[in-house]
Amino acid sequence: MPPKPVSKLSATMQNSIDTGIGLWLVPGSNPALFQRDHFIAYIYGAVHRLPEPHQEATMCFILDIPKYDRNSILFNQDDLARVLVILSKAQLTRDAFDSRQLPNLLANINDGNVPEMLDFQDIGINWASEIFVRQSHAKIEDVTGFVEKHRAIEAITELAVKELGDFRYALMNFENIWNMVDVLKQQQLDRDGLYLLIYFLALANRNSTIPPSLPLGIRNLMLEECDEILVNQTFWKILYIIDGAARLEPLSTPDRLHCQHPNVIRR
C-alpha cells in the first residue's frame, strides 16, 4: 500500500493556525503576515476537503471577504484564523455542504461553536509523486558527512547544465531555498538537508509555491515520507523479481482549483 502523503493534515484549530504561520508567514513579521499567494496556497488544502462541486465557489467567496486591515496588501493572522474557522464549520457538514451556506457561516463566525479539528488535503506545498521523491533522493544517496554551501552551488550548477527539465532555474532559487533548509545557519547541509534542497529546487522549477520557512516538524515528516517511499520501492522491486508482476507506479499530484477569481494564484 502506498504511504499516506505527510502533506495531509488533520489538526486542531490552534495547530492549523500554527502550521500556517510556521510555513507561510512573511519572515520577521510579528504578528504574522502572509503574502497573498502564500495565504491562498495554505487555505487551498482545507478547501480541497470540501465536496468538489463547491470548492471553486468557496475559494472565491473566501477571497472576497474584506481583510481586517483593508489598507494592507498582506493578510494577517486574524484573517487566517477567520477563514480556518469558516472552513472547519463547512467541513463539519461533510457531503451536505453547499457553498450557499457560506454567508451564514461568516455571519455566525463568533458564535463560539468552533469544531475541534480541521482537515487539509495538503499544507500548501504541491506534494510530488513517489517517483519524484525517488529521483530527488537518488541525486544525494552517495553523500556522506556535510557539504559546504559553495560545494552545493557547484553541484547544482552542474545539474542545471545536465538536467534542464528540473533544474533550469535552480540557481535563481538557490539562495532562498538554501536559507529555508539550512535551519541551523551553519552554511552546510547533511544528506537529509541536501535531499530537501534538491526536492524544493525541482518543485520551484515547476512553478510550485515554496514556503519561506520549513518548521522542524514538517521537515521531519517529509524525511519520514521519503524513507517510507524508499522502503516501499525496495518491497515492490523484490516482489517484481519473485513473480514478475509488480510495477512501480507514481502517485499523481492532487488537482488544483481553477477559480476564475482575479486574486487566485493558479498552481
Write out pLDDT tens, residues 166-185: 778 888 999 999 999 998 88
pTM score above 0.75: yes
Q: Classify residue 62 by burial, with Cβ atoms within 10 Å: 0-12, 13-18, 19+.
A: buried
Q: Domain segments of the chain: what residues? A: 9-120, 130-243
For 104-120, letters b (16+ CB in 10 Å) and e give ebbeebeeeebeeebbb
**What is residue 187's predicted lDDT score, i.e. its pLDDT?**
93
User: Hey, what CATH topology would domain 130-243 get?
Assistant: Recoverin; domain 1 (1.10.238)
Task: Express each pLDDT in 4-61 by its tens digit.
Answer: 444 567 889 999 999 999 999 999 999 999 999 999 999 999 999 999 999 999 999 9
